[in-house]
């Protein structure tokens, strides 16, 4: 699945659950994720979309550092079906289990308050 197709599908899923979705086009802040998401459940943060799992070194640092300061950051990767990873796992996604798999489960993660524990 192309990144643009992944973006449309997850946007539709999250907006259908009352989440706000803001696409960020930032050519100044290298590594800044693609999307800001804010949901009625209280889950909010940055979402990096990937058609596969290649993240630039700048993206990895950005996502990990955001989690270190208490912010929300995630990587949404299409590996046949969408998989959501915590931004803290960005250094090596292959060594981490996804938080959610599939559009509905990912929607449930965001609309249900995430997994902050």
Is 39 domain-assigned?
A: yes
Q: Which two tokens stand for residue 45?
A: 């943060």
For 4-38, the pLDDT digits (tens) are: 888 999 999 999 999 999 998 776 678 899 999 99
Q: Which two tokens stand for residue 91?
A: 């250094």
Is 116 domain-assigned?
A: no
Tally the domains of the chain.
Answer: 1
Q: How confident is the model at residue 1 (pLDDT cuts 50, 70, 90)?
A: low
3-state secondary structure of 66: helix
Is 58 domain-assigned?
A: yes
| Contacts made by residues 92-96, CB under 8 angstroms, sequence distance 24+ | 93/53, 93/55, 94/53
pLDDT at 44 over 90: yes
Its pTM surpasses 0.85: yes
- In which domain, by residue range, is 40 found? 3-111
For 87-108, the pLDDT digits (tens) are: 999 999 989 999 999 999 999 9
How far CA 90 is from CA of 18, 27, 65, in Å, comes to 27, 21, 10
Is 117 domain-assigned?
A: no
Give the domain CATH number at 89.
3.40.1350.10
């Amino acid at each position: 699945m192309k990144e643009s197709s992944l973006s449309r599908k997850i946007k539709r899923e999250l907006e259908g659950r009352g989440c706000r979705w803001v696409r960020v086009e930032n050519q100044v802040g290298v590594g800044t994720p693609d999307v800001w998401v804010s949901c009625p459940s209280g889950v909010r943060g940055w979402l990096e979309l990937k058609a596969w799992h290649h993240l630039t070194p700048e993206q990895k640092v950005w996502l990990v550092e955001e989690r270190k300061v208490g912010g929300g950051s995630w990587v949404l990767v299409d590996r046949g079906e969408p998989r959501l990873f915590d931004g803290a796992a960005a250094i090596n996604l292959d060594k981490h289990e996804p938080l959610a798999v599939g559009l509905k489960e990912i929607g449930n993660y965001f609309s249900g308050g995430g997994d902050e524990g």
